A and B are shown apart, each in its own frame.
Chain A
Amino acid sequence: SGTGAIIGSYVAPKSVWLHAMKGKGLEISGTFARRSGAVFMDLQFTNRALQVMSDFAIQFNRNSFGLAPAAPLQILTPLAPNQSTEVSLPLNTVGSVMKMEPLNNLQVAVKNNIDVFYFSVVYPLHILFVEDGKMERQMFLATWKDIPNENEAQFQVRDCPPSPDAVSNKLQASNVFTVARRTVEGQDMLYQSIKLTNGIWLLAELRMQPGSPSCAVSLKCRAPEVSPFIFQAIEMVLKN
């Protein structure tokens, strides 16, 4: 996709999470990434105040998937006025769990020598799609049958990649695995599996009409409240 992009899970561009106005001059931009099986919060800190900033630290509130910093925030030198620094904070998913609204909401506290600042961000769920998420075919069929119809959610993605191969490859780079593929009456059907860091499995059926840029996505999950967020992540991956 983007220039110089490495192959891997899709990473959205950084956006401003803490505006300087609310951070007494501290501006924080960030995004979430999954690289080599690990989750990162990629951050940029900018000092827009007139004084030097130092003594940075970060903490998360309890959240739906137990996301927590896996190491202290490494900003080792003070940040002079108008200076920026980038830092990649490794995360794990063994923190305290509390169901958030929305499910992918994360409350963050950052402190420096001036004050403590709080902000909320939402993370795309595909950062939690694990590398061993390809379900065995037999297990897929049994699970698909076993999950009741009322746990199935249906969505549409417009502006999909133009072929089932392109869709499958793009999704696989973000750990959405194609378990089987069929063509029925000219429609391409992809059966896919996703496993989240907390062990929840998602089963997906993607249906594409040749020549149509849209794709019908059906999701089956034993925890159906996650399906809308899985769909958002799939849509984000397919459109980028």
Chain B
Amino acid sequence: ELDDGLDEAFSRLAESRTNP
């Protein structure tokens, strides 16, 4: 599967929401 950077972007979003 192509790594389009979106997986990483969702991980960053989830982390930022858990540890604002």
> Which A residues form the contact surface with B (CB < 8 A)?
137-138, 141, 144, 180, 182, 184-185, 187, 189, 191, 205, 207, 218
Contact = CB atoms under 8 A, between A and B. Distances in A.
Interface of B: 4, 6, 9-11, 13-15, 17-19
A207 B13 CA distance: 13
Which of B4, B9, B19 has the most C-beta atoms of chain A within 10 angstroms of its own C-beta? B9
A139 to B, nearest CB: 10
Nearest to A142: B9
Query: Per DSSP, are chain B's interface residues mostly helix, strand or loop, or mixed?
Result: helix
Given A185-B18, A187-B18, A138 B13 contact: no
A184, A185, A187, most chain B CB atoms within 10 A: A184
Contact of A184 (B4, B6, B9, B18): B18
Given A185-B18, A189-B18, A144 B6 contact: no
A144 B11 CA distance: 14
B15 A137 contact: no
A144 B13 contact: yes
Nearest to A185: B18
B9 A141 contact: yes
Contact of B6 (A138, A187, A189, A207): A138
A205 B14 CA distance: 9
Nearest to A183: B14
B7 to A, nearest CB: 8
Given A187-B18, A189-B18, A205-B17, A182 B6 contact: no
Contacts of B4: 138
Contacts of B15: 184
B11 to A, nearest CB: 6
A205 B10 CA distance: 11
Contacts of A185: 18-19
